């Protein structure tokens, strides 16, 4: 089973908490860490912009990623939200089993 960290940014802590709560309750991810007070500098519409954001790191599986991405994109207020999946090269086996179990679809746990 391939495990992933999904890096995601939200406009603020409350939006991050709202969206993370939805996808964790729906078991699209086993867990979400919210890191508040990030500052993003980025190109948008021909100019460099700056904005505060909250960063979320989701723990999930490759199997659940397509549905997680679709759900996050649908919940997000941005036109082009940052949603990227990073494969895990390894990890503590009990933790990886927990990710797999807690993000499995209903009937597979």
What DSSP string runs through 14-71?
HHHHHHHHHHHHTTS-SEEEEEEEEEEEEEETTEEEEEEEEEEEEEEETTTHHHHHHH
* Adjacent-strand bridge partners of 37: none
Give the pLDDT confidence score for residue 108 in this predicted structure: 72
- Give pLDDT tens digits for 59-105: 999 999 999 999 999 999 999 999 999 999 999 999 999 999 999 98
Q: Mean of the per-residue pLDDT values for the chain?
A: 96
pLDDT band at 46 (very low <50, low <70, confident <90, very high): very high
Give the pLDDT confidence score for residue 27 in this predicted structure: 97
C-alpha distances in Å from residue 78, one per residue of 12, 15, 83, 89? 12, 11, 11, 30
Give the pLDDT confidence score for residue 109 in this predicted structure: 60
Measured in degrees and rounded to the nearest 5, phi and psi for residue 36 equal -85, 165
């Amino acid at each position: 089973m391939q495990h992933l960290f999904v890096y995601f940014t939200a406009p603020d802590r409350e939006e991050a908490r709202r969206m993370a709560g939805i996808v964790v309750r729906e078991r699209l991810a086993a867990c979400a860490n919210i890191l508040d007070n990030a500052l993003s500098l980025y190109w948008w519409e021909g100019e460099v912009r700056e904005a505060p954001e909250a960063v979320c790191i989701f723990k999930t599986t490759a199997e659940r990623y397509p549905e997680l991405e679709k759900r996050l994109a649908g919940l997000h207020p941005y036109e082009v939200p940052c949603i990227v999946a990073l494969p895990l090269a390894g990890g503590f086996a009990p933790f990886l089993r927990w990710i797999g179990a807690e993000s499995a679809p209903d009937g597979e746990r």
